[in-house]
Amino acid sequence: MNLPLLIASGIRITTPILLAAMGGVFNQQVGLMNIGLEGLMLLSAFSAAVVGFRTQNIILGIFSAILTGIIFALLHVFFVIKLKANLIIVGIALDLLAVGLSGYFLQIIFGVKGIFSSPRIPRLSPLIRIGIMSEFDILVYMSWFFVLLTAIILYKTRYGLRMRACGENLEAAFSLGIKVDFYRYTSYIISGILCGLAGSYLVFTLQIFSKNITAGRGFIAFASVLFGSANPLLTSVACLIFGFAESLQIRFQSFVELPPQIIQMLPYLAVVIALALKNLRSEGV
C-alpha cells in the first residue's frame, strides 16, 4: 500500500470538509446549528465555476464564491433572527434552494443539464513541489491555518468569549449587554466565507461543476462539528477521520476487507453513539 499517496489523498479529501466544518463550528458556538453548510458550499461552488470560467481568473472565482457564501449565509440567518423562522427548516430549505438555483442557472448560462466540465475552468496549482507536498495547493494549507485561527478566536479573544456566551445562554448574554445579534450575524458571515472557500476548492481542483459536486460533504462537515462538540481541534480530527475513511475507500478498495458502504456508514453511526454515551455519562452523575 502506498502510504504517502494515501495520506495525500486523505488530506485533500478532508480540505473542503474542514473548511465548511470550521464555519459550522462558529455557528454551533454561537448557538445556531447550521445544517445549510451543504447548500452554501454548493452555491459558492457554482459561483466559483461561472466566474472562474468566464474570467479565467482563480482569485476572482474564489472572491465571488466567498461573496455568494456570505449573501446566502446572511439570508439564512436573517430569516432565523429577524423573521423567527425555524433554524433547521430554513437550513433544509437552503440546501434545496441551492440544488434548484445552481441547476437552473447551469442550464440557463451553460446550456447543460446537471454537469459542466471544462479544461477552461482554472485549476489551483501546488504551492510547494516537494514529495507529497506537491499534491497540496494553497487552500489545503489555509484550511489548517483556519483551524488554528478558529481556536484562537474562540478561546483567546474577547470576540470569541462573547460569541460562546451567546451560545451558552442567549438571554444571559443579552442581559449582560452583549450585542447578541452582532455575534450571530458575524458567525454566519464567517461561515459563508469558509463555505465559499470550500466550494472554490472543489471547483478549482476538479475543474468541474455538477449539481452534486458537494456530494454530502456539507453534511459530513455538520456531523464533524457535532462529533467534535464544536471544538475546532476535535472537529478537525473528526474531519480527518471522515476524509481518511473516504480516501481508504476510493484509493485502496482492494486492501480493505470491509465493504465501502459500511466504512462510510461508521462516522454517522459514531455521531449518534457519541451523543448517546455523552448523555449516558451525564445522566449517571
Partner 1 sequence: MNRTLIPKFKILNLGGILISIFAIFLAFLVGAMIMLFSGVSPLEAYYSLFVGAFGGWINFADTLFAATPLMLTGLATAISFRSGVFNIGVEGSLYLGAFASAWVGFTFTNLPSFVVIPFSLIFSMVVGGIWGYIPAILKVKLKVDEIVSTIMLNYVAILFTSYLVNYPFQVPGVANSMSERISKNAELPRLMRGSQLNLSFFIALALILIFYIVNSRTKFGYESKVCGKNMYFAKASGIDVDKIIITSMVLSGAIGGLVGALQILGVYYRFYDFFSPGYGSDGIPIAILSNNHPIGCLFVAILFGALRSGGSMMELMTGIPIDLSNVLEAVIIFFVTAKIILIFRKSKKGEVV
Site residues, partner 1 (CB under 8 A): 33, 35, 79, 83-86, 88-90, 92-94, 96-97, 99-108, 113, 216, 219, 222-223, 226, 259, 261-262, 264-265, 268-269, 271-272, 275-276, 279-280, 283
- The answer to whether 253 touches 260, Cβ cutoff 8 Å, is yes
CB of 88 to partner 1, least distance (A): 6
In whole angstroms, how close is the CB of 108 to partner 1 at the nearest point?
Answer: 5
Three-state DSSP at 210 gives strand
Among 133, 140, 135, 137, which Cα is nearest to 125's? 137
Compare residues 106 and 202 and give the one whose CB is closer to partner 1: 106
Q: Do residues 203 and 213 touch, judged by C-beta distance below 8 A? A: yes
Contacts of 27 (CB under 8 A, 6+ apart): 33, 34, 187, 188, 191
Q: CB of residue 209 vs partner 1: minimum separation in angstroms? A: 14
Least distance from C-beta 263 to partner 1, angstroms? 9
Q: Which is nearer to partner 1, 81 or 208 (CB)?
A: 81
Q: 33 or 208, CB closer to partner 1?
A: 33
DSSP string, 103-157: HHHHHHHH--SSEEE-TTS----BS--SGGGGG-BHHHHHHHHHHHHHHHHHHHS
- Nearest to partner 1 of 85, 206 (CB atom): 85
d(CA 115, CA 98): 15
Nearest distance in Å: CB 230, partner 1: 12
The nearer residue to partner 1, 138 or 274, going by C-beta atoms, is 274
